[in-house]
Each structure stands twice: as structure tokens, then as C-alpha cells.
Structure 1
Amino acid sequence: MAVILITGAGSGIGLALTTAYAARGDQVYAAVRNTDHCPPAFRHPGVHPIRLDVTSEEETQAVLPLMTQQVGLPDIVINNAGINLPGTIEETCRESWDDIFAVNVFAPLRLSQAFLPAMRTAGTGTIVMMSSLSAEVALPGDGPYAASKAALTRAAEALHYEVAPFGIKIISLEPGAVKSNLNQMPVPPKKTIPAYDPLRHHMQQRANEKSGGAETGDIALDMIRLIEAPDSPAICPVGAQAGEIIRKLNRAAAEERAQLIRAASGL
């Protein structure tokens, strides 16, 4: 039986991972911002909801003592919480950049830093960074999200090699399109420029089409296999779509890459 901490566990991939781990008998500490409105899956005896705003330094530092007191050091920490703020680079204000990097980059690194000393002492532990195919290729209108995921992936890649001598495993997972509430087009940027209206309309269509992405339950099982595989590399595409696109990108010259991006974005 493993003990797993999962952030952003209340929906999407986080909920699917929580459900899958609990179903096989593991103990899951499911971190969500509000424990007053938990999904039915949290009623499973193997699921322990905890309140965590990943952008809060105080709440982040409180997680390890809580878990140590109740069950000890977790075997796996999955940094899954994330947000998406679609928009063009010109329209994205500084506040939005701060928000997306606070959640998608600084929060997982802060939580990892909180657990690394104890993992080094124990000589074991796995930390998972939930990245995205967007870390490898940025589509028009997806720049802020792609930039945040690329930053997370590269920081985690360095961390992978830094802590490997201590018996700690760091893995970044890069899924492609998944049926998730991240794909729902949120409120437009505070600053909108009419010249980008056609692109914004196309982005909305693309977000709607992503409702046909991979099932979160299937992706979660693929992720668990990669997390547990002893020979998984530092960066792992997840799902057929992500694997195929990354293989094509790795083979592509500059113009071929541009063509792939245009094709993927429908432009």
C-alpha cells in the first residue's frame, strides 16, 4: 500500500488519479482548495481530503507535518493543480502572467521543496510534475499556459538529475488533449484587442473540440504506469496523441515544425 499526495484532486486528472489509486487500496491525501464541496469519490475510505491553496506558503508548509503525524512521509507527491488562461501574448496582462506562473510553476516547486529534505533523509520518494504537451509546442492563443508548463518541465528536468543520487525520482508528465475543465474557455482577457477576435473565436472552437480528448480515467492509468516504471525518463508524453506529436516534432526541421503548429491550431 502506497501513500500518495495529489494536489488539484477535486476534478479532471487529479480526481481520476485519486479514484484509481484509492480503488487499488492505496491511501490518497486529496488536496483541494475547499473541502466543503468534495466529489462523491472522496467518500472512499482510502481518500483523505485536505484543504490546500497551493499558492499559500503557510498552507503548503503545513502539509508535511500533517501527513507525517498521520501516516508518515508520502511515497508519491503529485503536483497536479493547474490553471489555464488562454489569450494572446499582447492581450495578457502582467497580473494574468503572475497568476498562471504562481499556480503552474511556483506552487509545485514550493511543495516539492517542502518534501525534499525528508525524502533525502529517507533516501526515497517520487515527485510528479503535471506538465503538458504544450510544454513542447505552443499554439497561438496558448502562449501563457505553454510558457508556464515549459518552465515547469525544465525546472523539473534539472531537479530530476539533482536529486537522483539521493534515491528520489522526479518525473514530468506531458498529456495531450484530455477531457477536463481546463479546456473550457474562461472569461476573455481583461484587455481585448479586436484584431484578435477571429483568433479568439477559433480558440473557442478549439476548446469545444477538446471535449473529445482522451478520457481522464484512461490517462490516469497511463500516468500511474509511468510513475511506477523503474526506467521512466525525466519527461514522459502521456497518451497516443502526445506521443505522436512529440515524435513528429523531434524529427521536424524548422519549417516542418511551423507546419505542424499551423495544422494543430487549425490556422
Structure 2
Amino acid sequence: MRLITTTGLTLKQAGKTVLRDVDMHIDRGEIVTLVGPNGSGKSTLVKGLIGALKPESGTVDTLHNLRIGYVPQTLHMDGLLPLTVARFLCLPHRHSKDAMARALTEAGVPNLAGTQMRALSGGQFQRVLLARALLMAPDLLILDEATQGLDQPGAAAFYQQIANVRRDLGCAVLMVSHDLHVVMAASDRVLCLNGHVCCEGTPDVVQDAPEYQALFGTGTQGAFAIYRHDHDHAHDHTHHHHDEHDHA
């Protein structure tokens, strides 16, 4: 089932055309990763998909009553604000203790409800943001460079959690990423943006595409193969190497 479909979508910001003629779709239950260099239009496309930016031309068609959960890059909070995780999850809408416990468990931080937000590590903080998005019972979960502040093992662990969420809840996932070698392994499809859709397909297809290599080079290939071990046991063993992050 199609959750979102764009046809000939062209978007402007501050009078400048940022994206042109984007044809894309997101189906129920799939993980789609959106990659591209800075200024390629990734965040602009997300704004168009959620209705925060009106198309200059083209269309965005969404499933009726589509529920979207959003995980931002980060959230700047007053470090002195005395706010527990449970209180944070109830902003702006209150939720039952059971609902919050389920969301925190699904996000991989089951025992943090009473912890102060200011005491969380970067990885815990991102998982609490994920739990907050999951309280929406989303059909589509959008993560906007949600691993930006994490190191590679932390990012790998976070995206493994996203793969678990998709498996357990059946929601679709749109990941906006600068961290291609960590994200791609769990993705069903990858869209490479640079003002338009340069290439699209499975991770392997996009990784080998000349358009992708022109933007990113080929240096991420080895790291991608290592991370893929967690998700795909039919991989080409000639590219596999063990290190301490295999099962992060």
C-alpha cells in the first residue's frame, strides 16, 4: 500500500528552486533512506512530504489519515530544566504510563521514565526522541539525520533499533542520512538526491551507480559491508571483515 507518492514535485525555499521533478513513493512497512550532499534538498523534501512546504509544481498524495512520527536531528533543551523522561514524553499531549513504557521499550530504553533528560547520554536522548515519535503509533516514521551527534558504533546500534521497530510495528521508515555506510544496510531502497533524484534502488545498486560514486566516492563500501553483516547473511564474503562493531 502506498503511503506517500510524489509526482513531478518541485519545491522552492526563499525563492530558489531546491528540488525539481521528484517522483518518489513510500510503501507501507519499507525502509527508505534519503542521501545526498549538503544542500541537496533532503530536508526540503521532508518538508514537502509532511505538508510544511507547498509545492511550486507537482503533487504530493498521502494516504488518508496518515500518521507520521518525526525524530529530529537533535533537540536543544535548557540544561537546567528539571524534566524527567516521562514528563518530556507528555509534552504536548499526556500519555498513559503503560503507553510510555511500551514506547520506551520499543525504542530500546525501557527503564528511563524517571531519569532526568539532562542526565541522558547522546544515544539515550535520541532513543527517547524515538519513543516520543512512536507514541504517535505512526504509519510512517521520519528520521532527519537522527544519528548526527553519535559515533559510528552508537549510530549503528540506533539504526539496528530502527530495523527492530519496523519489524515489530510494521511502520514505514524514511531515514534522511549523511551517514550512508551505517544506514544503508537496513534499507529496502535508497534515494540519492542532488537537486533531483540522481539514482534510486537497493543499496547495492545505488552504491555501484556512477551518480552515487560521483557524489560520495567509493570509500564507504568496506564499512557498509561490515555493517551489513547484521542484516543480510547472504552477502558476498569477499567483502566481509570482522571488527568490534560487527554487532554494535
TM-score band by shorter chain is: 0.3 to 0.5
Relative to total residues, which structure has the larger helix share, 1 or 2? 1
For normalisation by structure 2, the TM-score amounts to: 0.35
